[in-house]
Amino acid sequence: MGQQSRQNHYVFAHRVLPNLAHHDALQVFEILSSEKAQTFLWNVWRDLTQKIKDSVPAEATPADFHIYRVRLRNYPAAVIVTPPPEGITETHMVAVVWLMDLGAGGLPDDPAVRYFTLEKGARSEDGGERTVLGEWTKDGSHLNFGDGPPAEPKAFARRLEELVQQ
């Protein structure tokens, strides 16, 4: 069995970021589209870590957050590589997909968002690394899509593009 998930790592990727993405979609889009994205993510992480005093802190620096801005179909998206996971359900990366057409002229006031996680899963039967693909909805529900792609931004984005097309 894998190591227990660190609370701040889990809460950051499964509660705080999806809540921000769903409820402040346009502001999060503007921040993650800017040069301030890495610092913003680290500040959110740092503030959360100071509030949660768990026994195994997940240390991070701004350099531990990598943002890849991509298009999934016609939708802008940010794939965010998070600090390396240790425990099961900690994320390798997350993605915010804004369901808006940037070519339509202007930005909507409240665009719909899809928020995905690529988590460290329990080892496969052959002992290999395993990822799990999930989605967090605006109402806080969690959808589990089962085995995920390799923990690489391009592979994650390709899999998300398939989901967004459905």
133 pLDDT band (50/70/90 cuts)?
very high
CA distances from 142 to 47, 111, 116, 133 (A): 24, 20, 10, 11
**Alpha carbon distance 49, 135 (integer Å):** 23
Task: Look at residue 94 and tell me whether its pLDDT is greater than 60.
Answer: yes
3-state class (DSSP) for residue 2 = coil
3-state class (DSSP) for residue 106 = coil
Mean pLDDT of 119-141: 89
CB 44 within 8 A of CB 36: no
- For the segment 22-72, what is each residue's pLDDT rounded down to a tens digit? 999 989 999 999 999 999 999 999 888 888 875 556 678 788 889 999 999
147 pLDDT band (50/70/90 cuts)?
very high
**Alpha carbon distance 82, 93 (integer Å):** 5
Residue spans per domain, the chain: 7-165
**Alpha carbon distance 77, 59 (integer Å):** 26
Neighbours of 161 (CB within 10 A): 16
Question: What angle do helix axes 37-51 and 25-32 make, rounded to 10 degrees?
Answer: 120
Mean pLDDT of 2-20: 87
3-state class (DSSP) for residue 116 = strand
